[in-house]
């Protein structure tokens, strides 16, 4: 199955003449040669621009590839405009399934005719993405305007084929590249698989949406629509219909006199608030999932949808990440190196001075530019790459966060090219860190844990006795195991001696005869 899927990918690559996107480097020579030899593949969209051909190819390959295109499309600061514009269509303009089929899926999931719950169901989708599409309707019981999200049928089969190929490639990397196990490629593919599978369960998305909504109730920064959880199933989700301007429609935002600087800064605030205050962040913030509420143009608010993919950090990762960001903002490279070691991201035996110098060599050239031109996500990626030279294990949870920051920075720079992440993020992080780890907070946590200590302290002598008893039992068991090992070694030596004597006897018999 993996071979046939790989062949399909190469065929699509050849059909849409995407070889011109390959770098002019000897490492891509073998792929160019292979594509050249596939002379029987007929060209498609020959008269289209390269961006449109790339968009059509990714769309033909399916949801895994569409997701990659969505992520790339957010980086207009590093992509040619014609390619970014073409890939942006992947966010909500993928070819839809027939509206009648979508209606049948909804009726089957809810076990009622469509008009039992909804009035004015529109069979024509208002948006169509790689995994699902959205139809508008009116809820009969309240006359509220809603949207119904429907999964594409048989989508799991396509995803599994691509994931199988990615597992195969990950295993090849692990085997064939020096220190390939450090890449943890198989684990990264596993996490990506889990991420995609979450998108195939709309009930989980409904839960995530409700939780994010609770976190931002009455917020000026971000609005999350209400979900009708009693009407949600694994392949159908019903939520409030929002009205806003797509974040990618820059011209319309400007025509409505939206404060673009404030909007860009609020995107950064929304990201850091989710990561550090709530430790529950929307990890799929491509432009197709973000709208802007312009009820008050000088006080714009984001509207977030499609909350299937979320990220959560451990308490340690959250703290070390904040320390790492702050050290970076302050150009404290020794602190960055110490944080990487203390967090366990690199081995404890790492030479802190060598790591500090490597971090400095990456960051200092960037600081020669104006702050508005420094790509924060790009430097974070480079820091991870440097750390891998010091045997850093790739952290999947940080990879997801890095991707989200990649989205946010791309959107922010698209809205307001002079966006200064330092000015927005640094004060937030400094306040969060002070509040989280101040002496007052630590004393408060200690005070709150007193009831637990009051229960545990009377049990302490008994627990210590149990520990001593268990330790003695373990020592006895270890002695027994050691004695058994000694007896086993003795039996093994006796066996070897017997074999040697037997062989010697056989040789003597042969000589005599």
C-alpha torsion angle, residues 153, 157, 160, 161 (rounded to 10): -130
CA distances from 300 to 212, 253, 262, 296 (A): 19, 10, 8, 6
With tokens 């319309």, the residue in question is: 252
Contact 73, 44 (CB under 8 A): no
- In three-state form (DSSP H/G/I as H, E/B as E, the rest C), the secondary structure along 40-58 is CCCCCCCCCCHHHHHHHHH
Closest among 288, 306, 283 to 398, alpha carbons compared: 283
Is 191 among the catalytic positions?
no
> And the tokens for 86?
């073409």
As given in the structure block, the two tokens for residue 153 are 């049928």
Residues 6+ apart with CB under 8 A from 346: 340, 355, 387, 390, 391, 392
Distance separating alpha carbons of residues 147 and 55, to the nearest angstrom:
27
Element (H, E) at 407: helix 396-415
Please give the Cα distance from 224 to 278 (Å, whole number): 15
Sign of CA dihedral 73, 76, 82, 85: positive
The string of DSSP codes covering 231-286 is: G-BTTEEEEEPP--EETT-HHHHHHTT--HHHHHHHHHHHHHIIIIIIS-EE----
405 in Cβ contact with 311 (< 8 Å): no
- Cα 186 to its chain centre, rounded Å, is 15
Q: Are 415 and 267 in contact (CB under 8 A)?
A: yes
Of 206, 300, 308, nearest to 247 by C-alpha is 300
Q: How far from 168 is each of 65, 157, 172, 183, CA to CA, in Å? A: 17, 17, 6, 14
**Residue of 85, 115, 201, 284 marked active site:** 284
Cβ neighbourhood burial of 50 (10 Å; 0-12, 13-18, 19+): middle
Which residues have a catalytic role annotated? 284
């Amino acid at each position: 199955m993996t071979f046939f899927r790989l062949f399909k990918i190469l065929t699509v690559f050849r059909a849409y003449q995407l070889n011109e996107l390959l770098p002019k480097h000897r490492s891509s020579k073998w792929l160019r040669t292979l594509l050249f030899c596939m002379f029987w593949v007929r060209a498609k969209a020959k008269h289209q621009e390269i961006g449109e051909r790339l968009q059509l190819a990714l769309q033909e390959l399916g949801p895994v590839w569409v997701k990659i295109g969505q992520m790339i499309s957010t980086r207009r600061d590093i992509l040619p405009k014609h390619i970014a514009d073409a890939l942006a269509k992947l966010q909500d303009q993928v070819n839809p399934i027939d509206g009648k089929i979508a209606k049948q899926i909804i009726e089957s999931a809810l076990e009622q005719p469509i008009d039992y719950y909804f009035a004015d169901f529109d069979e024509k989708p208002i948006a169509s993405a790689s995994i699902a599409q959205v139809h508008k309707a009116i809820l009969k019981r309240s006359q509220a305007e809603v949207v119904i999200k429907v999964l594409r049928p048989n989508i799991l089969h396509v995803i599994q084929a691509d994931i199988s190929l990615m597992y195969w490639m990950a295993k090849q990397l692990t085997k064939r590249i020096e220190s390939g196990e450090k890449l943890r490629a198989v684990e990264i593919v596993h996490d990506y698989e889990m991420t995609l599978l979450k998108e195939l369960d709309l009930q989980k998305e409904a839960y995530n949406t409700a939780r994010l909504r609770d976190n931002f109730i009455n917020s000026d920064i971000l609005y999350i629509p209400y979900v009708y959880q009693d009407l949600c199933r694994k392949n159908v989700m019903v939520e409030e219909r929002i009205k806003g301007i797509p974040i990618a429609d820059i011209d319309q935002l400007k025509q409505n006199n939206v404060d673009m600087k404030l909007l860009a800064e609020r995107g950064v605030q929304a990201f850091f608030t989710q990561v550090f205050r709530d430790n529950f962040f929307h990890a799929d913030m491509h432009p197709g999932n973000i709208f802007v509420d312009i009820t008050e143009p000088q006080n714009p608010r984001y509207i977030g949808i499609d909350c299937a993919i979320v990220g959560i950090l451990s308490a340690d990762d959250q703290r070390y990440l904040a320390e790492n960001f702050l050290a970076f903002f302050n150009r404290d490279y020794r602190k960055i190196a110490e944080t990487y070691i203390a967090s366990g991201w690199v081995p404890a035996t790492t030479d802190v001075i060598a790591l500090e110098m490597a971090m400095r060599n990456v960051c200092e050239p960037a600081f020669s530019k104006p702050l508005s031109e420094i790509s924060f996500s790009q430097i974070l990626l480079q820091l991870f790459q440097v750390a891998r030279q010091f045997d850093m294990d790739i952290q999947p949870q940080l990879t997801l966060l890095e991707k989200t920051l990649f989205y946010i920075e791309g959107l922010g720079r698209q809205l307001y090219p002079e966006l200064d992440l330092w000015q927005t993020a640094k004060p937030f992080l400094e306040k969060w860190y002070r509040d989280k780890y101040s002496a007052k907070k630590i004393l408060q946590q200690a005070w709150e844990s007193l009831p637990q200590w009051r229960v545990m302290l009377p049990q302490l002598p008994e627990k210590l006795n149990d520990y001593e008893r268990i330790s003695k039992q373990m020592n006895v068991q270890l002695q027994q195991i050691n004695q058994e090992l000694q007896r086993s070694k003795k039996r093994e030596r006796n066996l070897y001696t017997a074999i040697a004597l037997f062989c010697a006897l056989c040789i003597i018999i042969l000589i005599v005869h």
